[in-house]
Amino acid sequence: MRIILLGAPGVGKGTQAAFLSKKAGLPQISTGDIFRHNLKNETPLGKLAKGYMDKGLLVPDEVTINIVQDRLMREDCKYGFILDGFPRTLSQSESLDKVLNEMGSALDCAINFDVADRVIMNRLAGRRVCPNCGKTFHIVYEPPREQGVCDACRTPLTQREDDREETVIKRLHSYHEQTEPLIEHYQRRNLLVNVDAAKPIDAVSAEIEMIIDKIRLSNKEKHLIHKPFDLTAG
């Protein structure tokens, strides 16, 4: 199954992608995580990405597209993937189609996480992350057991540089300008499913699970319809 998760920053794509990845046994490919990993390891890619991320801007298409192309060619993507945070521009979506075409496959679904900007501001301002294991918390909605400390590995929590208010405003601006047009793009192709991501995490997970079950069923039916009868079978 090949799924993309669309939505503004802070709508919960990462949380749901991780959940779905476990549930469906598919790799989660998050371009934001790839950039942050490179940043942490001070690679040339990380240094380049930092300049854009800190300003709330998108990393240039040619850089991002190459990374995703390489990642999708890996063996673990053979039976599908969950793309979290890619595509974010029309040009990225075109290049994704191209790669999938070359692989002889196609997208099954684009899940759009719908949340108002003021809710996003609130979520991102209170988000805290563990710099060691990557677990995320929210000071109000999902607080750690001990204030400011990761439940999983006891490391002091930090705020992502790009979760500061002035950067969030810029990220939202980039989202509306460059990414939002993808909603209509996938709607026209009959691939879009909207999810009310302002609901609690569990309710969103349940809704996504239902969407995935429906796709599975429809893929199975398509397979049965296209499979010729085996007249030699006893």
| Interface mask toward ligand AMP for 14-33; x: CB under 6 A | -----------------xx-
Contact flag: residue 58 with ligand AMP (CB under 6 A): yes
Strand 136-138 with 127-129, pairing: antiparallel
Residue facing ligand AMP at closest CB distance: 32
Q: Active-site residue among 2, 50, 123, 160?
A: 160
Distance of closest approach, residue 68 Cβ to ligand AMP, in angstroms:
8
- Report how far residue 214's alpha carbon sits from residue 38's, in angstroms, rounded to the nearest whole number: 36
- Crossing angle, helix 61-72 and helix 31-40, to 10 degrees? 100
Q: Which stretch binds ligand AMP (CB under 6 A): 80-88, 129-137, 144-152, 220-228?
A: 80-88
C-beta of 44 vs 228, nearer to ligand AMP: 44
**Does the annotation mark 160 as catalytic?**
yes
Both tokens of 107, joined, read 């997208």
List of residues 6+ apart from 104 with CB closer than 8 A: none
Length of the chain measured in residues: 234
Answer yes or no: are the C-beta atoms of 139 and 128 closer than 8 Å: yes
**Does the annotation mark 188 as catalytic?**
no
Q: Which residues bind ligand AMP (CB under 6 A)?
A: 9, 31-32, 35, 52-53, 57-59, 64, 85-86, 88, 92, 162, 171
